[in-house]
Amino acid sequence: MEEKKLDPNSIIGFLLIFGILLFWFYTNQPTPEELEAQQQATEQVEPDEVVAETPQPVTPVQQPVTYPNDSLAQQAYASQVGAFAFTKVAEGETVLENDFLHLKISNRGGQIVEARMKEFVTYDSVPVYLVKDGNALFNLQLATSDNRLLQTRDLYFEPELTEEGANKVLSMKAKTAPGQYLEYRYTIKPGEYLLDFQIRSVGLSGVLNAAQPALIDWQLRGIRHNKSVMYGNRYTRLTYRHEGDKISKLSESGDDEETETDVRWMSFRQHFFSTILASDEPFASVDMTSKNLVEEESKDIQFTKEFGVQMPLDISGGDFTKNLHWYYGPTDIDVLEQYEDLALADSIPYGWGIFGWINRYLFTPFFSFLSSFLPYGIAIVVMTIVVRILLSPVTYKSYLSQAKMKVLKPEITEINEKHKDNAMKRQQDTMKLYNKAGVSPLSGCVPALLQLPVFYALFMFFPTSFSLRQKSFLWADDLSSYDTVAQLPFAIPFYGDHISLFPILASIAIFFYMMMTTGQTMQTQQPGMPNMKFIMYLSPLMMLFFFNNYASGLSLYYFVSNLITIGIMLVIKNVILDEDKIHAQIQEQKKKPRKENRFQKKMREVMEQAESQKKK
């Protein structure tokens, strides 16, 4: 390595910079007049003696500005505080904690500036923070009686920590005079992730403009907690409950904004952890924004999305009180269901409609039962076996339909040869054959459609199951993240910089499954249908690339599921079904008179009409 040395020019440059700094500090030291102003700024003055802050828009998430303890700082603080003349409090932070949470509340702004969960660490063994290093902002904008604005992010609050039974209560008061103050009141209970949070004003009704609502501004940048930032970002989302029991979300992939009414809570979900602000009384209106901060996979990205909400707070009654709740904790059904009155469990992304219902009320309780006495990887295998056995009748129906189509293949080939120059006639005779034989080409698709709700539900279950987080199985360190058997010295587009084994095994199993199913289909494939051979090779390849960064628990499920399905199909083919017997049954069925249903009759009439038009 080349040795670095300072040349004479560098030394001269450093000396010049040092001299300039000394001159600047000397010329800007406080004068006696400024020192006197500093003492006056710390004393309380009458409300009508200080000029209020001029209106300005709410700023984005930023680290709180720390003023040095000098005369210029005191003057700057006084000008920002405005007509209220709040008492200046020293910089500082107060710790509020229980068994689960460690919180720091700053005197400046009275807001939570650090929220750490004691029981959890990230993928690289770092404590899980939801608020840290200025990634969050909570501000209350108030209008004064002379129609100017005050931002609580610029106020200094006086802390008072007390105990009420087993609960710890932190009162943060921004005082203007004895009996006149704005208070943030935090109450933390033992063994809970939920804090009670109250905003109230006392004795300020004469100086607040009651005709103009206050504005709550809450912003947060989601801190990265996952090994794959792209994967974690898929499940990082702003979710909210509004208009009763409606649950809605902003976009998971791009920038989005929305204005809603009657909002009960807003959840800034960061995959397995959530920061939620809930209200006893719904907010009349809320403006919500979500900005995506992740464009590609990178080890250097620290933030996933930037969330923001703004909601007006009615203060028309003079002094006001607003009862809220903060939740800093895991996105875990067992924890969130404890707060049934707020319905926080609805923030978990189980999927929409019937898919979410299957996940929440079937798969989640069943998997919790299995994992209570089995290792988590074995629990996935057992649950997969049970699911496949329950779906085996559907698999049988699908394979039986394919077997019937295979038996009819010689006759279909004969029809195709007979009418190779007349597609319409070929289609008519094929449908007649199906009708006589009692076979429908769609009968194999219906069983597959019946399985889709289960497949999609499980696709959503594994990546969002908190119980799988950091649970190991075989070579996988974390079933909620990807497994790594080899680290690549470079990154492959759409694949990553590592090799995961479970997706490879799942892709191989899917390939053999596709060979069995498409082998039957290709023998009876009609002209114009998709190239099944191409799909047979494409599906495993997509699986290999798509799931390389997904939860290894999901890849384990697909691997085991396809192995079991292959086994069930081999049993059906070699033990249960007899193609000669099926052929005999079809021949007997063709001898029976068969009445057309309304759909078949309509299709036949349409084809005959089209054939007639073609001849004309």
Is 80 exceeded by the pLDDT of residue 556? yes
Which domains does the chain carry?
Answer: 91-349 (2.70.98.90), 357-591 (no CATH)
Is 90 exceeded by the pLDDT of residue 378? yes
d(CA 331, CA 326) in angstroms, rounded, equals 14
Note the pLDDT of residue 358: 86
Is 50 exceeded by the pLDDT of residue 112? yes
Note the pLDDT of residue 187: 95
Pick the more confident residue, 415 or 177.
177
The answer to whether the beta carbons of residues 543 and 505 sit under 8 Å apart is no
Cβ contacts of 516-525, under 8 Å, gap ≥ 24: 516/566, 516/569, 517/402, 517/569, 520/399, 520/402, 520/403, 520/405, 520/406, 521/402, 521/405, 523/405, 523/406, 523/409, 524/402, 524/405, 524/406, 524/408, 524/409, 524/412
pLDDT-derived band at 285 (thresholds 50, 70, 90) equals very high
Is 60 exceeded by the pLDDT of residue 195? yes
* Residue the block writes with tokens 């009418």: 419
Pick the more confident residue, 35 or 494.
494
d(CA 242, CA 246) in angstroms, rounded, equals 5
Q: What is the pLDDT of residues 116-138, one digit of tens each?
A: 999 998 888 889 999 999 999 99
Note the pLDDT of residue 370: 92
Is 90 exceeded by the pLDDT of residue 23? no
Note the pLDDT of residue 352: 77
26-51: average pLDDT:
44
Pick the more confident residue, 106 or 91.
106
Q: What is the pLDDT of residues 577-605, one digit of tens each?
A: 666 666 666 666 655 555 655 655 666 66
Q: What is the pLDDT of residues 231-262, one digit of tens each?
A: 888 889 999 999 888 899 998 888 999 999 99
Is 70 exceeded by the pLDDT of residue 361? yes
Which H or E element spans position 229? helix 229-234
The residue ranges of DSSP E strands in 314-352, in sequence order, are: 321-330
21-50: average pLDDT:
46
- The mean of the pLDDT values for the chain is 77
Note the pLDDT of residue 238: 94
Q: Of 177, 199, 436, nearest to 313 (Cα)? A: 199
Q: Is 21 exposed, middle or buried (0-12, 13-18, 19+ CB in 10 A)?
A: exposed
Return the DSSP state at 462.
H
The pair of structure tokens assigned to 199 is 């905003």
Q: Is 100 exposed, middle or buried (0-12, 13-18, 19+ CB in 10 A)?
A: buried
497-523: average pLDDT:
77
442-463: average pLDDT:
74
